[in-house]
Amino acid sequence: MTDDGTTARTVTDVLQPRNVLVAGMVGIGLAAAGDWTGVPWGLLGALCAGLVPAGYIEWERKRGTWGDRHVVDRTKRAPIFLVILASIGCGSLVMVLGRAPSGILVAMLALWAMTVVLLTVNTVWKISVDSAVASAVPTLLAVVHSPWWLLAYALTMAVCWSRVALTYHTVAQTAAGASLGAATATAFLFA
């Protein structure tokens, strides 16, 4: 593997959706509550949006359903999206019943809506989920915490580059994913 290939692999592994969602949702929960009481809500969001789906992918990978976490064949992605929708839906219900801060609940609903669009688009075209998540999280953080979080778009661009460099996606697929992530998050946070 070339130096660019090694760098791209590192970027795509470190900034995979699970990791971005764990860090981002904890930050969103903290900002939404205004103090440490938002951290458990953020952890619940991270569990439902990132860790449960990642666990499902790993379970299916070990069963031999997919070669790795990237699931490069878009025709095999529908079950993943359904698990994400169910997991985020359950987490959102717990948040409503537990009276979570509205900012973290809105973030969960934004991620749920984004996943619906990803699933729909994926039926005909392979859109980049990694780019969508890497874009949605800084947008959510910028609205609930500080516009300074928009500087994290440098990491979003790195994710998009890595997905193209590894030939998992085209430039158009990563641009579409990143645009969807930003648009979905922005639309829900201004609703």
Could you read off the pLDDT of 67-80 as tens digits, one per residue?
Answer: 777 787 888 889 99
Q: What is the pTM of this model?
A: 0.93
Query: Alpha-carbon distance 150 to 147, whole Å?
Result: 6
Give the model's confidence band at 111: pLDDT under 50 very low, under 70 low, under 90 confident, else very high: very high
Give the model's confidence band at 191: pLDDT under 50 very low, under 70 low, under 90 confident, else very high: low
Nearest to 127 by CA among 87, 170, 83, 93: 170
CA distances from 16 to 39, 52, 123, 163, 172 (A): 21, 14, 22, 10, 19
CA distances from 19 to 11, 16, 72, 122, 133 (A): 11, 6, 19, 22, 10
**Residue 2 confidence (pLDDT) above 70:** no
Strand ranges in the chain using DSSP code E only, listed in sequence order: none
CA 67 to chain centre: 21
Q: Average pLDDT, stretch 10-24?
A: 96
Q: Average pLDDT, stretch 138-148?
A: 89
Give the model's confidence band at 36: pLDDT under 50 very low, under 70 low, under 90 confident, else very high: very high
